[in-house]
Amino acid sequence: MAALPIYENRFLDKFSLKGRTVVITGGGRGLGLTFANGLAQAGANIAVIDIAAQPSEAFSSLTYGGQYLYYQADVTNYEGLGKVITQISKDFGGIYGCIAAAGVHVDKPFLDHTPKDLDVNLNVNVKGVFYTVQHCARQMKEQSTGGSIVAIASIAAYKAPAAHSIAAYTASKYAVRGFMGQIAKELAQYQIRVNTVSPGCMQTELLQMVLDEHPERLPLFAGTCALNRIGQPQELCGMLLYLMSDLASFTVGQDFIVDGSSV
């Protein structure tokens, strides 16, 4: 039997994203901005797409030596988003990675959900992810360079959270997990790796808004996982770096739970 191949001595170099452009939706704030910061430190060029007219001041702090540009777009506008992603490819000379992180949620009892609440969640969290992945994948196929695509799902697609009332959001994240598995099968032939990440309860601006209004929920949120605390956004960056790197070259069609063990 032939000896199994081993990595060369410079194993950690495979984590480098130097010169590779990663598109991040929802990257103007929250988890998306944290991902942008983390991947920029690994050498990636970052193209952030967000609905806000101007980037946050924190975006300007990306000073790690790469190229970082901000683009305004609504991920639910199929044609508008497509034009922006085409422009990104032109501006950067191609696209290697895509992280579909733009998302919203409505926190209210199921019986109080309105058709508009459902539409908002499905439009941004499902259609927005679908559109983003499709546009980026088309660029990657045209380039014939392969690439890595990650959609941000949620632990809510595995377990109903005790501290939230997010039926429409949960439905949207189940949908993301479902169609990304199918997309992974179809795009693998182009050497485009597709995976999802399902975060647990994370300390985001949206969560803080809930806690400001309902401080009594803090023990419920913290108690959702074995570590008995709320996760920090940067604790997701290791998984995103792995999935964007060459070390994940045989990782396709998987959902990675990063939740402090709450399932």
| Tens digit of each residue's pLDDT (9 = 90 or more) over 135-148 | 999 999 999 999 99
Q: What pLDDT, on the 0 to 100 scale, is given for residue 7? A: 60
Tell me the domains of the chain and their CATH numbers.
Answer: 18-201+233-258 (3.40.50.720)
Q: What is the C-alpha to C-alpha distance for residues 39 and 20, in angstroms, rounded to an integer?
A: 10
Q: Do 193 and 182 form a contact (C-beta atoms < 8 A)?
A: no
251: helix, strand or coil: coil
Q: Does the pLDDT at position 34 exceed 60? A: yes
What are the tens digits of pLDDT across the range 60-89?
888 899 999 999 999 999 999 999 999 999
Q: What amino acid occupies position 121?
A: N
Note the pLDDT of residue 233: 93
| pLDDT-wise least confident of 52-56, 124-128, 239-243 | 52-56
Average pLDDT, the chain: 92
Residues 182-200: tens digit of each pLDDT: 999 999 999 999 999 999 9
pLDDT higher than 60, residue 15: yes
DSSP letter (8 states) at residue 127: I
Higher pLDDT, 215 or 256: 256
Query: What is the reported pLDDT for 168?
Result: 94
Cβ proximity of 89 and 139 under 8 Å = yes
pLDDT of 2 over the 90 cut: no
For the annotated catalytic residues, the residue numbers are 154, 169, 173
Tokens of 209: 């808004």
Q: Could you tell me which residue, 132 or 159, shows the higher pLDDT?
A: 132
The pLDDT, as a whole number, for residue 204 is 84
> Is the pLDDT assigned to residue 263 strictly greater than 60?
no
Q: Which two tokens stand for residue 188?
A: 């693998």
The answer on pLDDT for 9 being more than 80 is no
Between the alpha carbon of residue 103 and those of residues 52, 118, 197, the distances in Å are 13, 13, 13
Helices assigned H by DSSP within the chain: 30-41, 78-92, 115-122, 128-143, 167-187, 205-213, 218-222, 237-244
Output the pLDDT for position 210: 79
Confidence check: pLDDT of 151 > 80: yes
> What is the reported pLDDT for 12?
81
Whole-angstrom distance between the N-terminal and C-terminal Cα of the chain? 41
